[in-house]
Amino acid sequence: MKKLISALWLASSLTAGAAWAQPYAPNEAGVTMGHWHLNSRDVEANKKIFLGMGGTEGGPGPLQRVTFPGVVVILNQQAGAPPATGDTIGSVVNHVGFIVQNVQESVAGWRAAGVPVQPGNNNRLDQAYVTTPDGLKIEILEDKKQNVPIRHEHVHFFLPESSMAESQAWYAKTFGAKPGLRNEAPIADLPGVQLRFAKTA
């Protein structure tokens, strides 16, 4: 996925938009999840996917933006910006993740809007995947108790085993992320995102 995601920024403020799309309150270090910056081969095709998933279109400006609770997706193809040259599978950022209230209801609506949806692992009904035209893999999981239809949840890094603890510690030291474990794998929690670290093959 070389240059598909040019930067994963953690920021303490974003341009004001719809209230539901505002970033989460910063942690003690003043950090919250801000945005993904995607170098896109086809901005309009990718924007259609994110809007079909329930994001809201950002305001006017040189960059195309789609906002969700917890993250702003910026689709960049300005002059001189290198387009994506590969997908996320096999890269350090293997995939990103959203949470919805009901996976099957969301999937039905998304397919009607032209969003390409793949089933969950082992045909799980509480999980699905979306892959954008640029090859960004998005995991969809379910939380029936959340009060918004969709929200950003995680970024899943696939790293050499020797780098997992080091990465977790770096995010804790640099951004005040709270280290922990999920399914016996290291994580680092920040407002609006859980950074997950898995061993790559």
Which candidate, 125, 156, 155, 157, places its Cα nearest to that of 141?
A: 125
Write out pLDDT tens, residues 117-174: 999 999 899 999 999 988 999 999 999 999 999 999 999 999 999 999 999 999 999 9
Q: What is the pTM of this model?
A: 0.86
The alpha carbon of 16 is separated from its chain's Cα centroid by a whole number of angstroms, namely: 20
The alpha carbon of 97 is separated from its chain's Cα centroid by a whole number of angstroms, namely: 5
Per DSSP, the three-state class of 59 is coil
CATH architecture of the domain 93-199 equals Roll (3.10)
Q: Residue ranges per domain, the chain? A: 5-76, 93-199
Write out pLDDT tens, residues 35-90: 998 888 888 999 999 999 999 998 767 788 999 999 999 987 667 767 677 788 88
**Could you give the CA distance from residue 85 to residue 39 in angstroms, rounded to a whole number?**
9
